[in-house]
Structure 1
Amino acid sequence: MRKALIIGIDYYDHLDLLTGCVNDAFAVRATVERNSDGTLNFPSPQVMTGTNAERRVLKRDLKEAARKLFADDSDIALFYFAGHGYIEDTGGFLCASDSETGDDGLSLAELMQLANKSRSRNKVIILDSCHSGAVGSSATTSGLAEISDGVTILTASTAEQESYETPGGGAGVFTSLFVDALNGAAANLVGDITPGSVYAHIDQSLGPWAQRPVFKTNVKTFVSLRRSEPPIALADLQALTTHFPSPDSKFQLDPSFEPERSPGEEDDDSIPPPDPARTAVFAVLQRYVKVNLVRPVDAPHMWHAAMQSKSCELTVLGQHYWSLVNKGLI
């Protein structure tokens, strides 16, 4: 069982109005509900949005929804919040529509208490709000994190920073990158998207002078937040150990592997004609090259490697996946 609570608040009774948080919430919902192949991922995620005075997210409702999310033994409990954040010397807060001063919202300490005590096997907290990096840190002891086993936190900014919207508004910078990551930008070669790969994507996309995302975790293994279409077929990936008997072996090529010929080479008897069985293998090798698993040796491209009877070899990434296949982990 995978549960998701998604909150976006633009409307505030007493604080400045926002413009992109509701859009962010619906974008996250549209992405996480199903995997890229249409299968259910987080079935029927609960979405709470504060859009106007008639439709608000109240403090009591925000806290109660968080309590229900973490109340059972789900496989994953995902909490996403976009809205105002507030910090003072006693800690940080997530502001509801009826928050008056900021420090009267859902405290990050309360949120962490709910997550830390939850029986859910994986608790994932995603915050796109100012000062959200304070979550999971002790308000009384500097540098001390308070994260129990199975908890992962990803925030838009540090405790000292604000969280910004994209130019023109309408979406958060962090959430836009988060959604891109879930849509496949952070997928590994089998299509899994983990909190770690999401953070890596966001971290690389934000410059050193921009808001800095924060990643905190206490897990033994990463859970997959979503599955996307893998960039290479599983059967091809599992064939790595067939084509390369060892991680440092080289695959010898010759012109019979290459189906294409340059003008004038078709009638050159010194060049072996294409062999259908070998060209099929060569097509797999070229797919490896596209995802950085294989590279030609002493040749700029695979075509040159084949036509000049050179070889190809596994890259460092290719050796990593070779090892995973060899151990039966893929």
Structure 2
Amino acid sequence: MRKALIVGIDYYDHLELLTGCVNDAFAVRAAVERNSDGTLNFALPVVLAGTSTEQPVLKRDLKEAVRKLFADDSDIALFYFAGHGYIEDTGGFLCAGDSETGDDGLALSELMQMANRSRARNKVIILDSCHSGAAGNSTMTTGLAEISEGVTILTASTADQESYETPDGSAGIFTSLFVDALNGAAANLVGDITPGSVYAHIDQSLGPWAQRPVFKTNVKTFVSLRKTEPPIALADLQALITHFPSPDSKFQLDPSFEPERSSGEQDDTPIPPPDPAHTAVFAVLQRYVKVNLVRPVDAPHMWHAAMQSKSCELTVLGQHYWALVEKGLI
């Protein structure tokens, strides 16, 4: 059972109105509800969208929805929030639509208490709000995070920073990158998108001078947030140990592996014709090259390696996946 509560608040009775948070919420729902092959990922994500005076997100409703999210022993309980955030010396807050001063919103300490006590096996908290990096921080000890096993926090900014929207105000910068990551930008070679890979994508995309995302986790293994089309077929990936008997072995090539011939070749040069069995293997090797698992040795491209009877070898990433396949982990 995979549960998701997605909150986006644009309308505030007393605070400055926002413009992109509801868009963000629905973009996140669209990304997490199903995997890329159409199979169900998170069943019926609950969306609280604060768009107007007729549809405000009240604190009591927000708190009750969070309580229900973390109430049972689901496989994963995912909470996403986009809206105003507030911080003071007593801690941080997520501002509901009826917040007047900020410190009357949902306290991050309350959110963390519900998540830390939850029986859900994985609790993932994604916050696109100002000062959201305070989530999980100890109220007693500076620089110390207090999160239970199975909890992961990913926030748009540090406790001291604001969280910004795109120039046209239609979406949050952080959430735009988060959705891109879920749609495949953060997928590994088997198509899994984990909180760690999402953070790596956002961290690299924002750069050192922009708002800084914060990642805190206490897990033994990452859960997959979404499954997308892998960049290489599983059968090809599992064949690594067939083509390379050891992680440091080299695969010897010759012109019979390459199906294409250059028009500039001399007709009197003895070159063996393409071998269908060899060209089929060579196609797999080239797919490895595209995902940085294999590289040609002493040649700029695989074509040159084959035509010059050189070899190819596993990259460091290739050796990593070779080990995973060899251990039966893929």
Coarse TM-score class (shorter-chain normalised): over 0.9
The 5 A counterparts of 1:1-330 are 1-265=1-265, 267-268=267-268, 270-330=270-330
CA offset at residue 267 of structure 1? 4.4
Q: 1:268 to 1:324 in 2, by over 3 A?
A: farther
Where 1:286 maps in the other structure, the secondary structure is: helix
Amino acid at match of 2:59: K
2: CA distance, partners of 1:269 / 1:87:
75
2: CA distance, partners of 1:19 / 1:98:
17
Amino acid at match of 1:242: T
CA offset at residue 266 of structure 1? 8.3
Where 1:229 maps in the other structure, the secondary structure is: coil
2: CA distance, partners of 1:89 / 1:264:
74
CA offset at residue 150 of structure 1? 0.2
CA offset at residue 7 of structure 1? 0.1
Amino acid at match of 1:36: S
Contact 1:89 1:139 in 2 (8 A): no
Gaps of 5+ in 2: none
TM-score (norm 2): 0.99
Contact 1:92 1:132 in 2 (8 A): yes
2: CA distance, partners of 1:309 / 1:232:
26
List per-residue Cα deviations over 1:136-181 (Å, max 9, x = no partner): 0012321121100000000000000000001211000000000000
Where 2:313 maps in the other structure, the secondary structure is: strand
Where 1:62 maps in the other structure, the secondary structure is: helix
List per-residue Cα deviations over 1:123-142 (Å, max 9, x = no partner): 00000000000000012321
Say what the alpha-carbon RMSD is for the aligned residues.
Answer: 0.8
Structure 1 segments (4+ residues) deviating >3 Å = 264-269
Amino acid at match of 2:88: E
2: CA distance, partners of 1:138 / 1:318:
41
List per-residue Cα deviations over 1:214-255 (Å, max 9, x = no partner): 000000000000011000000000000000000000000000
Same amino acid, percent of matched pairs: 88
Q: 1:12 to 1:104 in 2, by over 3 A?
A: same
Amino acid at match of 2:69: L
Where 1:44 maps in the other structure, the secondary structure is: coil
2: CA distance, partners of 1:113 / 1:163:
24
1: CA distance, partners of 2:268 / 2:44:
64
Where 1:64 maps in the other structure, the secondary structure is: helix
Contact 1:196 1:222 in 2 (8 A): yes
2: CA distance, partners of 1:266 / 1:59:
78
TM-score (norm 1): 0.99
Larger displacement relative to structure 2 (1-10 or 163-172) = 163-172
Q: Number of aligned residue pairs: give it.
A: 330
Contact 1:152 1:217 in 2 (8 A): yes
Contact 1:265 1:271 in 2 (8 A): no
1: CA distance, partners of 2:275 / 2:167:
54
